[in-house]
Amino acid sequence: MPTARFDLQTSTLALLGLAPDQDDWTDRERREISRLETMCAANKGWALGYGCAEAGDPWCIVHDADGEVMVHIARIERRYVVAWAPGQQRAQFASLKAAVDLALRCIEQRSGSIEPNSRESLQSQ
């Protein structure tokens, strides 16, 4: 019988509303970020990029075909920070789901070009 993997530290941090303190996105975080990948796949020329800051904080960006960054999400000191144009507005969240939700709304408002069927799939995830 397969056993479920239980990570006490990750589970405790989730219960407390804290992000993990590590240098890369966790599998759980990547599943949440996959909603941005779905949006990019539905919009020609959009792409999702990943990286890690010198301080070890993971980040991702959504950019258009011209390389213009539409939204940036990073985990900094166990908080999720979203930055978007115009004026490099910022917001912080304890939850990556909330950060990705805001990122999707910002991109939709800015571009006005999310395909109707991709919007439905984003909301169902």
The answer to whether residue 81 sits within a structural domain is yes
The answer to whether residue 3 sits within a structural domain is no
pLDDT of amino acid 19: 53
The CA–CA distances, whole Å, from 31 to 56, 86, 99 equal 20, 28, 13
The answer to whether residue 123 sits within a structural domain is no
The answer to whether residue 119 sits within a structural domain is no
pLDDT of amino acid 121: 40
Which domain covers residue 99, as residue numbers?
A: 18-114
The answer to whether residue 122 sits within a structural domain is no
pLDDT in tens, the chain (125 residues): 444 444 444 443 444 444 555 678 999 999 999 999 999 999 989 999 999 999 899 999 999 999 999 999 999 999 999 999 877 899 999 999 999 999 999 988 887 754 444 444 444 34
This prediction has a pTM of 0.72
The answer to whether residue 51 sits within a structural domain is yes
The answer to whether residue 2 sits within a structural domain is no
The answer to whether residue 8 sits within a structural domain is no
Cβ atoms within 10 Å, residue 20: 18
When divided into structural domains, the chain yields a total of: 1
What type of residue is 101?
A: D
Which residues have a Cβ under 8 Å from the Cβ of 55 and sit 6 or more positions away?
Answer: none
CATH number at residue 107: 3.30.720
pLDDT of amino acid 22: 62
